Chains A and B, each alone.
Chain A
Amino acid sequence: MSKIIPESGYKATFNKITAALLLIDIDAPSYTILDVNEAYLLATNTTREALVGKSVFGAFPASPSDEDAKNIKMTINSFEQAIQTKTTHTMWDYRYDIPIRGTDEFEERYWTTSNTPVLDDDGNVSYLIHSPANVTELIKLREKEIASVEAIKNHRQQLYATFMQAPVGIAIFRGAEYIVDLINPTLCGIYGKTVDEMLGQPVFDVLVHIRGQGFDQLLDQVRLTGVPFKGQAYPASLLRNGRLETVYFDFVYEPYREIDGTISGVIAVATEVTEQVTAKQLIEEAEERARLAVDAVGLGTYDLNLEAGEMITTKIFANIFGFDEPVPWADYVRVFHPDDLAAREEAHAAAMRSGRLFYEARVIWPDGSVHWARVEGKVYYDAGAKPTRILGTLLDITAQKQAREEQEKLMALVADSEQLLRNITTAAPNGLWMSDEQGKITYVNQTWSDWTGLAYEENLAEGWLKAIVPEDRQRAGETLLKSLNGRSLYEAEFRIHHIDGTKHWCVATGKPQYRGDGSFSGYIGSCVDITEQKNLQQQKDDFIGIASHELKTPVTSIKAYTQVLERMLLKKGEAREAGMISRMDGQLNRLTSLIGDLLDVTKINSGKLQFNDRDFEFNDHVKELMEDLQRTTEKHILIADFHPTGTVFGDKERIGQVITNLITNAIKYSPHADRIIIHTGIKNEEVSLCVQDFGIGIEEDKLNKVFEQFYRVSGDLQHTFPGLGLGLYISSEIIKREGGRIWVTSKPGEGSTFCFALPLKTNI
């Protein structure tokens, strides 16, 4: 029989029970708290006084989390349900944060609360037992569990994604048929298939052509023995993109073990290394080619192990040293030319420091012949910077050496001849120069520099013109360009500022030069200091000028006396004596004429021949002159063959002098003829005059010389004809200065025709 618990005992039970309980009146909407037990006060951090007699919603105002949880609405709803159904209504796992006493903070709490109606005797609901259970821990635990499940799921997905996206090919083949259980696109790509084509199929059914290449045996071996297989640069023939290709793999076959340890398949991990293999093959081929090339150019190669003192050499290396086959290092060293051993030692010592070996040395072959070898090499060092090895090449440079020696000899010869040439040009008493095809000076010799005081460089291009006095400078430069354009001989006279402080006269000449291919390359020329000649010439001209002028004075008085005497004698009637005096006067006229010629020549030479140009009737003037001259000869008849000429603009006296000279000559040189024809006329804008004689004529080779200064008829007739040989020279100079031309045609024994032509010009 069990103990009877007194009524107060239930009260105690109510207070001591661990479940939090709250008794609530059903006086909606207030739902006044009727009582509360200790557990409740503990769970909610409140006091009895704060709760009893208060509305449940007033005692527990909305907490911050209510907004979302809508706890009040839910609680009212639960109360109503319980009252209505008269059965317990439970609110599961809702959040209701409670205040932390003494602070404004709230603590996160989860609750499962039941509202149980208590019926009165009539069966009506009297009040509700409100019992919240703190399920916070439980809820937290459940959340963690969900989170970890989710994480595992994510992890698995990541793994799968990694597997599918892996740059290495991965697959699992199951069973003896090697059905593709799993395969990633990378491996499918290697196989040239799609994932769909592969999945669930026996691998050798899909890749038919791979059967018999040894992979099935390898898979069997791994599956049956459990020993993994690793293949490197393993070749396989695969049908890809419709072509059978040889591809290379690095791969691993791992056994696939079930949980119980049994092997149910094979995991394959593979990467394609075709490119690397191909690249390696290319490198090997390149190396082979390089080796062949080295052999082809006769390069010997060597590998010298400095620690062991051993040297590996190629056959060509041995051949260059005069051996048929490679020999030990010491044997090679022995055949070096004794004179080159020191240089070799030096080169080796230097190589240890610089890392590069280079020297050229002679070797003596067994037959005694001497050959040159060039040794090149690279030094290799160990971690302690100690040289351990030299790798390099050997080249027979005997032919090169010989060629170089020849070249050096030639160069020495060229240098010698250059020096010789320089010495000659420096020693030359003349300036020497060269120009390019544009007329720019490219060379002057030391003599020119010595004259002008201009350094070599200062003369280059147009620099040389600085040496020339300003009055002559432009003409000197222009003459060169003019000659250059015509590719003709250059000749110019000019004055230079000589280093001695005076002006020196120079005559420069140059000859056009042509290259081997015939193209014009410029000028080479010289320059002669003619100051001395010029001075002498000047002195001569001055002397002749003064002398002839001084001669005129006595001649003038003699002539005056003679003429007075002639007149006196005539007046006295002494005709014979007067005649003699008259002939004396004639000789005086000849003397005057000679003096005049000499004076004219000095004027021409010094450029002082003066012209007094004006218009005159040409034919009239010729006629007057002919009349005068006709009086001097009884033997010849001067015949006029005139055509209209009109007026000529020129120096009447000087042109008359020319006509007189030509007619006088015609008379003089046709002693056996009786007529001289003078032709005039206009042709091609020129007024021309020709004096035709029928005399002795001129040899053809002398024709052009007759207008030269001091030219005289040579040979047998030399002494027959008097004169200084100046007349035609003066005539040609006068005509040239008047802008005309003078010429002669002649036939020995038949006569000569001297002509001149003047351009038709009038005084504007």
Chain B
Amino acid sequence: MKKIMIADDDPGILDAVCIMLEFEGYNVTCTPDGADVLKLQSDLPDLLLLDIWMSGMDGRDICRQLKQNAATHHLPVVLISASRDIEISALAAGADDFLAKPFEIDDLLGKIERNLAG
């Protein structure tokens, strides 16, 4: 079972997405605190879904750090934002993919599958 970690400071979105992905058969770790992602030492997820604008944290900074760390740089990261305009900066931060809120569930699942496969 593939392991996915989700970080979003909005509890509603976090809850809904976690339910959705669990329903789709993924092993999901949910955290409202982006800092948790950087605390990962072992038991790494297979893919990360990160919100960009989180209170106290920027998903792009987390992505950048993950990509600079040899232990985590291979992990696929999908950045999510309510603003479509920051897609470019998201990709520049090293994200493997980008998704604008609100999104179709099919789009989310499609991106997850593509990046897990890649």
Contact = CB atoms under 8 A, between A and B. Distances in A.
Contacts of A561: 16, 19
A653 B84 CA distance: 10
B104 A563 contact: yes
Contacts of B103: 556, 559
B85 interface: yes
Given A564-B105, A567-B23, A592-B102, A553 B16 contact: no
A731 to B, nearest CB: 17
Nearest to B85: A610
Given A560-B105, A563-B104, A588-B102, A553 B82 contact: yes
Given A552-B102, A568-B23, A592-B102, A560 B82 contact: no
Nearest to A585: B104
B36 interface: no
Interface stretch (B7-15, B27-35, B57-65, B110-118): B7-15
Nearest to B14: A557
B68 interface: no
Given A552-B102, A563-B105, A557 B23 contact: no
Contacts of B16: 556-558, 560-561, 564
B19 A564 contact: yes
B12 A557 contact: yes
B92 to A, nearest CB: 12
Interface in B41-65: none
A86 interface: no
B20 A563 contact: yes
A289 to B, nearest CB: 96
A567 B23 CA distance: 9
B20 A553 contact: no
A740 B88 CA distance: 24
A554 interface: yes
A254 B13 CA distance: 149
Which of A552, A568, A603, A653 has the largest number of chain B CB atoms within 10 A? Answer: A552
A555 interface: yes
Which of B10, B16, B17 has the largest number of chain A CB atoms within 10 A? Answer: B16
B109 to A, nearest CB: 10
Interface string A650-682: 000100000000000000000000000000000
B10 A553 contact: yes
Contacts of A557: 10, 12-13, 15-16
Contact of B13 (A560, A567, A653): A560
B104 A553 contact: no
A675 B10 CA distance: 44
B23 A612 contact: no
B73 interface: no
Query: In which size bucket is the chain A interface?
Result: 20 to 34
B82 A556 contact: yes
A747 interface: no
A741 interface: no
Contacts of A610: 85
B95 to A, nearest CB: 16
A129 B94 CA distance: 167
A559 B84 CA distance: 17
Given A549-B82, A552-B101, A560 B10 contact: no
Given A555-B102, A588-B102, A560 B20 contact: yes
Contacts of B20: 560, 563-564, 567
A734 to B, nearest CB: 14
A653 B100 CA distance: 13
Interface in A543-595: 549, 552-561, 563-564, 567-568, 588, 592
A141 to B, nearest CB: 145
A553 B12 contact: yes
Contact of A559 (B10, B82, B102): B102
Contact of A553 (B13, B15, B17, B85): B13
A549 B102 CA distance: 11
Contact of B23 (A553, A555, A564, A653): A564
Contact of A554 (B12, B15, B85, B87): B12
A563 B13 CA distance: 12
Nearest to A653: B84
Contacts of B104: 563
Contacts of B13: 553, 556-557, 560
B85 A556 contact: no
Nearest to A567: B23
Nearest to A591: B102
Interface in B70-86: 82-85
Contacts of A559: 102-103
Nearest to B86: A610
B20 to A, nearest CB: 4
Contacts of A653: 84
Given A557-B10, A557-B12, 17 more contacts: A553-B101, A555-B101, A555-B102, A556-B13, A556-B101, A556-B103, A559-B102, A559-B103, A560-B17, A560-B105, A561-B16, A561-B19, A563-B20, A564-B23, A592-B102, A610-B85, A653-B84
9 closest pairs, A vs B, by CB?
A: A560-B16, A557-B12, A563-B105, A556-B102, A552-B82, A556-B101, A564-B20, A557-B13, A559-B102
15 contacts: A549-B82, A553-B12, A553-B82, A556-B16, A556-B101, A557-B16, A558-B16, A559-B102, A560-B20, A560-B102, A560-B105, A563-B104, A563-B105, A567-B23, A612-B87
